[in-house]
A and B are shown apart, each in its own frame.
Chain A
Amino acid sequence: MAPCASCFLLAVMFSASCKAITSSDQMCTEKEANKTYNCENLGLTEVPDTLPNTTEFLEFGFNLLPTIENTTFTRLVDLIFLDLTRCQINWVHEDAFQYQHQLDTIVLTGNPLIFMAETAFNGPKLLKHLFLIQTGISNLQFIPVYNLEKLESLHLGSNHISSIKFPENFPTQNLKVLDFQNNAIYYLSTEDMNALEKATNLSLNFNGNDIRGIEPGAFHSKSFQSLNFGGTLNLSVILKGLQNSTTQSLWLGTFDDIEDQDLTSAMFEGLCEMSVESINLQKHHFSDISSTTFRCFTQLQELDLTATHLKGLPSGIEGMNALKKLVLNVNNFDQLCQINAASFPSLIDLSIKGNVRTLDLGAGCLEKLEDLQKLDLSHNDIAASECCNLQLKNLAHLQYLNLSYNEPLGLQSQAFKECPRLEHLDLAFTHLHVKAPQSPFQNLHLLQVLNLSHCLLDTSNQHLLAGLVDLRHLNLQGNHFPDGSISKTNLLQPLSSLEVLILSSCDLLSIDKQAFQSLGKMSHVDLSYNSLTGNSIDAFSHLQGLYLNLAANSIHTVPPHLIPTLSQQSTINLSHNPLECTCSNIYFITWYKENLEKFEGLEETVCANPPSLRGVKLYDVKLSCGITALGIFFLIVFLLLIAILLIFSVKFLLRWKYQHI
């Protein structure tokens, strides 16, 4: 009987896997039932019959549709998003999308278009996004103008466009994004720009075009959300050309693969004649950086000088009083004081991450930045035996501090006394030396998020997290606990406001029943990638509605008395555990199958034992742990034998008795 059953199981498994293989060969993947489908890379020449009429989002890229006609998508009247990337489309005929009234996005990227009919886009009532990237367009007349009144974004990158002049009847009034990346635009004339006059808050992207000339006055009294001239060789042409314009964000960075001229102070003259809030100059070289280089940056609120080969910023820059955000990532500073922070008294946000050299924080280098709220000093090889009060002197308004991915830091008690308003502190992957019983975070009463993952903490120090009365989110991933266990008294006890606790990859073997007793507000606990057993679940008996991640642990069985604890939680992940699928675990398995909606990672929640069921999904397991027919047979035989024995012994007893009367 048993071998037959396993044969059957094998057959079912094989037929299931065959089905999966054949379906992936021809069928689309369902991402959301009746709504979202992915049919990419299937070599399809038409919409498959298996797609429901109710499909709204369809990814149909990398198939074969040389011609699109009004019959191609007839059936799919509910389409909202249609991706036809690289389908070798040559022709888009009349009324190709006439039945798709809801359609708001059409992606035609990478198709060798020969012709699009004048009425190609007729039908959709709210066509908002059109992607015509790398479709071989050389003339904007190619794009049919009918029914584009609602268009918000038009993507025309990687074509052969040399002039951005739209035909007169082209509707531009709702355009917000116009993308001309990687074309052959060399010159922008007043006439070109006037064709875009009706658009408001426009973002224009000329990244990867080598613009060599702008007609004087072309941008006169025009305003833009953003302008991108990335990779342009001559910045002074751009800045002169933008005279009298208003722009929120101006991207003038360059790239590793583009040879550029050194920036001189004279190149920025044009900035004095325009209004900009934010400028990016990434990867440029400054030839003669001095305090006068920034003469025309007075109105600026954000300046990004990422990877501009800076060894320092000149002292005494005047007029940068308005600057709110400064990005100095990936530069060559030796010491933090070399940025001469005193020039930017209004700074709220400062980022210096990924410095090419080891950065020395010095003492009080940022003390003039009294309004600073956000400071990123990650990936800088910063090392300090005593941190951080001297280094962060006078940063009383700091709310966010990132010191992750640095070299070892020594922290004493009240190590962040200078920034009492900190709400978010990230120290991930920075080794911390804290001598017990010091409490480095003592005065941080407002701290809500603390990331201490992979900090090699001494977790036996009960006072390590003292003082964090408002902490909501704590990440202790990759730290180790004495003997691999969290005992009844532990460093988490002061954290009464804690909601999210991450203890994954901590090599934990056990958790005491009362370890989390003082943490009554927790809603999310991640204990994945440890070696915990089923008994650890007892530590959550006082909590309800928890997201509990126990994936990749050593749970074999869940004892019946712990099932109520699990049932009061909202989501549980037990995937990648060596689960026992024998009658010793029958109570749990039965309960699991009745509560599948509570579980996450169902496909990876499989049996490890007995060997015959290894790899079988727990929800597929059928166990019968009552008495089997064979058992009943033996029981009856056994009872019968007992009865016979009884009768014989009574008979024998009686005979013996009568013989001795």
Chain B
Amino acid sequence: MEGVTAVLLLAWTLISPSSSGKAWPTHTVCRGGNLEVFYQSCDPLQDFGFSVDQCSKHLKSNLNIKLGFILREDIKELFLDIALFTKGSSILNFSYPICEEDLPKFSFCGRRKGEHIYYAGPINNPGLEILEGEYQVLLELYNENRATVACANATVICS
């Protein structure tokens, strides 16, 4: 009897819709100059918009980006984690502070939960030559409580 109940329950859990089942669409950041960049939001709560002013394998320094999303957390402190993979192995991991209490680098630092943010401006990156290949990039923005502010799974294809 219990066995039957267990099977029924198992079937129900498998069939019933899960809240995090829906994936956000994949967007194109840019395509051209032998470079294609796609991203998908990995924050189950929301999608976000992102674009770069230039798309080339010779990545120039101090790129201008456009970024639009809704804040689900205060960002008095904001950190960026980047993990770079190719062919399933990790090449690079780093963490970078964007907003800190004693050094708010950008004008949007200190904005509050619920605000819609639109940022168009430079990001202070170093110049970079992208080698041929396909790369997976995981970007995560989070605040001082390790609460996710934004999350992106990106694919970079350089030919």
Chain A residues packing against B (C-beta within 8 Å): 4, 7-8, 10-11, 14-15, 17-18, 21, 24-25, 41, 61-62, 85-86, 107, 109-110, 131, 133-134, 155, 157-158, 181-182, 207-208, 230-231, 253, 255-258, 282-283, 304, 306-307, 327, 329-330
Across-interface contacts of A4 in B (CB, < 8 A): 2
- Is A257 touching B106 in the complex (CB atoms < 8 A)? yes
For the complex formed, measure the closest distance between the CB of B36 and the CB atoms of chain A, giving whole angstroms. 27
- Is B107 touching A231 in the complex (CB atoms < 8 A)? yes
Complex Cα distance, B2 from A306, in Å, reads: 67
- Is A131 touching B105 in the complex (CB atoms < 8 A)? no
For the complex formed, measure the closest distance between the CB of B44 and the CB atoms of chain A, giving whole angstroms. 9
Across-interface contacts of A329 in B (CB, < 8 A): 102-103
Chain B residues packing against A (C-beta within 8 Å): 2-3, 5-6, 9-10, 12-13, 16, 18-19, 45, 70, 72, 102-107, 109-116, 119, 121-122, 124
Beyond A17-B13, A255-B107, whether A24 also contacts B19 by CB under 8 A is yes
Sample of 16 further A-B pairs with CB below 8 A, known A131-B112, A133-B114, A329-B103: A10-B6, A14-B10, A14-B13, A15-B9, A17-B13, A109-B112, A110-B115, A110-B116, A134-B114, A134-B116, A157-B115, A158-B115, A182-B107, A182-B111, A207-B107, A255-B104
For the complex formed, measure the closest distance between the CB of A97 and the CB atoms of chain B, giving whole angstroms. 19
For the complex formed, measure the closest distance between the CB of B17 and the CB atoms of chain A, giving whole angstroms. 9
For the complex formed, measure the closest distance between the CB of A306 and the CB atoms of chain B, giving whole angstroms. 6
Across-interface contacts of B105 in A (CB, < 8 A): 255-256, 283
For the complex formed, measure the closest distance between the CB of A259 and the CB atoms of chain B, giving whole angstroms. 10
Complex Cα distance, B38 from A344, in Å, reads: 53
Beyond A14-B10, A86-B70, whether A256 also contacts B116 by CB under 8 A is no
* Contact among A24, A231, A306 for B103, CB-based, below 8 A: A306
Across-interface contacts of B102 in A (CB, < 8 A): 304, 306, 327, 329
| A-B pairs with beta carbons under 8 Å apart, 17 shown | A7-B2, A7-B3, A10-B6, A14-B9, A18-B16, A62-B45, A109-B114, A110-B70, A131-B112, A133-B114, A157-B111, A158-B111, A181-B110, A182-B107, A207-B110, A230-B107, A327-B102
For the complex formed, measure the closest distance between the CB of B38 and the CB atoms of chain A, giving whole angstroms. 26
- Is B114 touching A61 in the complex (CB atoms < 8 A)? yes
- Is A25 touching B19 in the complex (CB atoms < 8 A)? yes
* Chain B, residue nearest A330 (CB): B103
* Chain B, residue nearest A86 (CB): B114
- Is B6 touching A257 in the complex (CB atoms < 8 A)? no
Across-interface contacts of B9 in A (CB, < 8 A): 11, 14-15, 18
Across-interface contacts of B112 in A (CB, < 8 A): 109, 131, 133, 155, 157
For the complex formed, measure the closest distance between the CB of B146 and the CB atoms of chain A, giving whole angstroms. 17
- Is A18 touching B2 in the complex (CB atoms < 8 A)? no
- Is A133 touching B115 in the complex (CB atoms < 8 A)? yes
- Is B103 touching A282 in the complex (CB atoms < 8 A)? yes
Complex Cα distance, B12 from A15, in Å, reads: 10
Complex Cα distance, B112 from A157, in Å, reads: 9
Complex Cα distance, B110 from A253, in Å, reads: 14
- Is B16 touching A21 in the complex (CB atoms < 8 A)? yes
Complex Cα distance, B19 from A306, in Å, reads: 45
Complex Cα distance, B9 from A61, in Å, reads: 33
For the complex formed, measure the closest distance between the CB of B129 and the CB atoms of chain A, giving whole angstroms. 23
Complex Cα distance, B111 from A181, in Å, reads: 9
Across-interface contacts of A86 in B (CB, < 8 A): 70, 114
- Is B115 touching A109 in the complex (CB atoms < 8 A)? yes
Most B CB contacts (10 A, CB to CB) among A109, A256, A283 go to A256
For the complex formed, measure the closest distance between the CB of B80 and the CB atoms of chain A, giving whole angstroms. 14
Complex Cα distance, B70 from A230, in Å, reads: 23
For the complex formed, measure the closest distance between the CB of A5 and the CB atoms of chain B, giving whole angstroms. 9
